[in-house]
Amino acid sequence: MSLYPSLNPTPRLLLGPGPSDAHPAVLRAMSTPLLGHLDPQFLELMNQVQDMLRRVFLTTNALTLPISATGMAGMETCLVNLLEPGDKVVVCAKGFFGGRMIDIAGRTGAEVTVIERPWGEVFSMDQIREVLQRVRPKVLGIVHAETSTGAYQPIEELGKLCHEFDTLLVVDAVTSLGCVPVRIDEWEIDAAFSCTQKGLGCPPGLSPVSFSPRALEAMDRRKTQVQCWYLDIGNIRKYLGAERLYHHTAPISMNYALHEGLRLVLEEGLEARWARHQKNCLALKAGLDALGLPYTAAEGHRLPQIHAIRLPAGIDDVKGRKMLLELFGIEIGGGLGDLKGKAWRIGLMGYNSRPAVVLVLLAALEQVLTRLGAKVSQGASVAAANGVYAA
């Protein structure tokens, strides 16, 4: 007799900042029989994954691949490969994940200069130009889509600005890839990293990264070894190159999932996918406005895939989220850092960005807020969202 029950978790609708629900076709792909990580069929699949990643990142970078670990490993991969002890790096911090970049950059032994904006705001090009002129850093790191605040940082001109000062631009695209435009080549981004469990509609487990020729040249000029053996791109390049030297056992089923997820992104079309996220964003925003829930991010700089909203006075953060989970099977995220206990974070990413999800969530929020003592006009938020869809 087994000491443990078979796996049978209660179904959830994952509407937090990640992970999001995987597309059903992606889950089916994960049940495909395993291959060896050096099997010719798997190596061809990896070639296809790299090619599809280039198309989704909108780049021709040869070194574009999924790191066999979650999104934070992508952040670390970019920073430890580009930074050595004594290098100068500027990190733009306007939320929790800018803080993560500061921590990792500091561990490389680099000299870290931090520029900050209040949580929910974004940086201007003038502010960044001033610090680049003063510091002349090797690397500038910035978060494109700040998951902790829902703030959408403009970066279209940032690569060009960085290159005026011979600075490499590293972009956190963890919450942006597959939801909003990420144009690596056009925007002159030198290194970018993302994850699988958000806009790409897959489970967590891989971190897509892409490095420009400028970034590769900087790596080749290193005087010291990369601090992390596993994430040393020099070693990983040999595994992915013609030599196919053994580096690690790739997670086969996760690469199946990413292959299917990327295929679905390209089948839908990037422009259509971005438009879908924007449409569902507008519907959810209309509903949240009807509930009197203001955003934490500044007007004009709000992400369509992460809605960070301030809680009404007297509403208990943990009790509300627990009620959503227990009564309706819906998971949303709480606030981090400066917003802990003061905000909820709602994700509409990838497969979950669709009208049925928006309407179910708003109906559940109406009931939860009412039970917690907030004054809510029943049906108003759903009607507001339906008005957007009807228009």
| C-beta pairs of 38-47 under 8 Å, 24+ apart in sequence | 38/244, 38/246, 42/250, 42/252, 42/255, 43/244, 45/255, 45/256, 45/259, 46/240, 46/250, 46/255
Query: Average pLDDT in the 13-40 region?
Result: 96
Q: What's residue 1's pLDDT?
A: 62
Q: What's residue 323's pLDDT?
A: 97
Query: Average pLDDT in the 349-373 region?
Result: 97
The string of pLDDT tens digits covering residues 43-80 is 999 999 999 999 999 999 999 999 999 999 999 999 99
Work out the mean pLDDT of the chain and round it to a whole number: 95
Q: What's residue 237's pLDDT?
A: 83
Where does the pLDDT of residue 231 fall: very low under 50, low under 70, confident under 90, or very high at 90 and above?
A: very high
Q: Distance between CA 140 and CA 50 in Å, rounded? A: 25
Closest-CA residue to 376 (of 292, 297, 301): 292
Residue 92, strand partner residues:
115
Q: What's residue 155's pLDDT?
A: 98
- The dihedral through the CA atoms of 72, 74, 75, 76 has a sign that is positive
Q: Which CATH number fits domain 24-266: 2.20.28.90, 1.10.760.10, 3.40.640.10, 3.40.50.12280?
A: 3.40.640.10
Type of residue numbered 388? V
Quote the tokens at residue 269: 């079309």
Query: Average pLDDT in the 19-37 region?
Result: 97
Query: Average pLDDT in the 2-31 region?
Result: 94
Asked whether residue 248 carries a pLDDT value surpassing 90, the answer given is no
Residues 6+ apart with CB under 8 A from 212: 59, 61, 184, 188, 189, 190, 191
The domain limits of the chain are: 24-266, 270-390
pTM: 0.95
Asked whether residue 107 carries a pLDDT value surpassing 80, the answer given is yes
Query: Average pLDDT in the 250-272 region?
Result: 97
Q: Do domains 24-266 and 270-390 have the same CATH topology?
A: no
Q: Distance between CA 244 and CA 378 in Å, rounded? A: 60
The string of pLDDT tens digits covering residues 309-344 is 999 988 999 999 999 999 999 999 999 888 899 999
Asked whether residue 232 carries a pLDDT value surpassing 80, the answer given is yes
Asked whether residue 166 carries a pLDDT value surpassing 80, the answer given is yes
Closest-CA residue to 115 (of 136, 96, 140, 138): 140
Query: Average pLDDT in the 6-24 region?
Result: 95
Query: Average pLDDT in the 12-19 region?
Result: 96
Kindly report which listed range (37-41, 234-238, 285-289, 382-386) carries the lowest average pLDDT score: 234-238
Q: Which fold has domain 270-390?
A: Aspartate Aminotransferase, domain 1 (3.90.1150)
